[in-house]
Amino acid sequence: MLLLFASTVNPVFGLKKCNFPAIFNFGDSNSDTGGLSATSLKTPTPPYGETYFHKPAGRFSDGRLMMDFMAKSLGLPYLTAYLDSLGTNFTHGANFATYASTIRLPTSIIPAGTYSPIYLDVEYSEFVQFKFRSQVLRQKGGIYAYLLPKGYYFPKALYTFDIGQNDLAEGILGDMTIEEVSVYIPDIVNKFSINVKNIYNLGARSFWIHNTGPIGCLPLILTTFLSAQRDSYGCAKPYNDVAQYFNHKLKEAIVQLRKDLPLAAITYVDIYSVKYSLYSKPKEYGFELPLIACCGYGGIYNYSSSIDCGATITVNGSQIFVGSCERPSVRVNWDGIHYTEAANKFIFDKISTGAFSDPPIPLKMACHNI
Ligand SMILES: *[C@@H]1O[C@H](CO)[C@@H](O)[C@H](O)[C@H]1NC(C)=O
Ligand SMILES: *[C@@H]1O[C@H](CO)[C@@H](O)[C@H](O)[C@H]1NC(C)=O
Ligand SMILES: *[C@@H]1O[C@H](CO)[C@@H](O)[C@H](O)[C@H]1NC(C)=O
């Protein structure tokens, strides 16, 4: 009787593991494993990468990203950036994410401006290229068969997304009020949906979509808006509210996508709540000073927008290297914008179980359309 009951209320009961043969990821610096770095438009320098790779590894963190923990837990190699032209092996997927990518075409573009030229539509076009050209090359045989995914991996792969934060940032840090940014959110989310549909139309079936995090808890936002209203944990409330509004619209869009794409398994993952718990209960999870950048300089949040982690600055005539804090393993924020490896691992461990997902199925089973 108990078992019967369990099988009716718990959708996970009896589901098989998916054995995803590959991952294709779309996103921004939260999941960039070397994309923008490969373009050389912006490359992380020491102390980036010091915790795990012991050298800069194209990631904007001291170590691994959620994306790395995800690949590892699925038994796959760390994802290679599509743009990486040296010694790359795409057998088990490719990563199209780049630092500062947006969903919509940004107006301010690196190197003259702030955001990545590789916004989501471009990431999608790269995927189209990759899917087609990888199969043409495989047919040549030889080494290519050991560097590129098999054709049948594409429909069986996991397609992951973590993007949207920079669309909010571009407005907020540009010349828009929060209200003006909110007006654009339905269009931002709509452009996201169009890309998901296009990828589905190329045969993708399993989608794992992260919502956006509590941007109002980042030293970047806290420093820029020193007088913005704070919540009980010290985060800038209006900026978290706008992130939550984006997430609300994203969730609505995903409900619609499930109707429009009947063969897709689409998992919405509430990254926001997991990240927020690092600010509301840091001690409980073994973290401290969550609002303070580990690698930064100045002000109450150890952050200034003009001084990057890894820079050498001159203060009162002496040179100071902006390096890592003493114990990044107990810190949440790495450089004012990005999370530490320790935080990324914490977040991944929480989301991989399905406890923060809709539907509530674990990562390993995210191919089931339930
Ligand atoms: C690429 O990686 C896959 C999986 O790790 C491996 O089986 C394959 O041999 C690698 N290719 C080359 C040319 O080393
Ligand atoms: C620079 O020197 C001035 C004068 O001695 C001092 O007041 C100030 O605190 C110093 N700044 C820093 C960052 O050390
Ligand atoms: C602030 O950043 C500096 C690097 O410039 C680091 O040495 C220091 O430990 C950081 N402060 C805190 C409280 O983490």
Whether the CB of 315 sits within 6 Å of ligand 2: yes
**Ligand 2, atom nearest to 316 Cα:** 1
Strands 158-162 and 318-321: unpaired
Strands 357-358 and 265-269: antiparallel
CA–centroid distance, 369 to ligand 1, in Å, is 31
Whether the CB of 157 sits within 6 Å of ligand 3: no
The 3-class secondary structure across 191-223, one letter per residue, is HHHHHHHHHHHCCCCEEEEECCCCHHHCHHHHH
**Residue corresponding to tokens 């108990």:** 2
CA–centroid distance, 320 to ligand 2, in Å, is 13
Which residues have a Cβ under 8 Å from the Cβ of 122 and sit 6 or more positions away? none
Q: Which of 20, 86, 89, 138 to mutate to test the pocket of ligand 1 (most atoms within 8 A of CB)?
A: 89
State the Cα angle at 103 between 205 and 174, rounded to 5°.
Answer: 160
Each as own residue / partner, the long-range contacts of residues 318-322 (CB below 8 Å, 24 or more positions apart, any chain) are 322/295, 322/296, 322/297
Which pLDDT does position 14 carry in this prediction? 80
Q: Are 47 and 323 in contact (CB under 8 A)?
A: yes
Structural domains of the chain sorted by starting position, each given as residue range(s) with its CATH number in brackets: 19-285+338-353 (3.40.50.1110)
Low-confidence stretches of the chain (pLDDT beneath 50): 1-8
**Ligand 2, atom nearest to 315 Cα:** 13
Whether the CB of 318 sits within 6 Å of ligand 2: no
Which pLDDT does position 11 carry in this prediction? 61
Ligand of minimum distance to the alpha carbon of 87: 1
What are the pLDDT digits (tens) for 157-189?
Answer: 999 999 999 999 999 999 899 999 999 999 999
Name the CA dihedral angle for 94, 78, 324, 54, rounded to a multiple of 10 degrees.
Answer: -120
Which pLDDT does position 6 carry in this prediction? 47
Which pLDDT does position 10 carry in this prediction? 58
CA–centroid distance, 333 to ligand 3, in Å, is 11
What are the pLDDT digits (tens) for 271-307?
Answer: 999 999 999 999 999 999 999 999 999 999 999 999 9
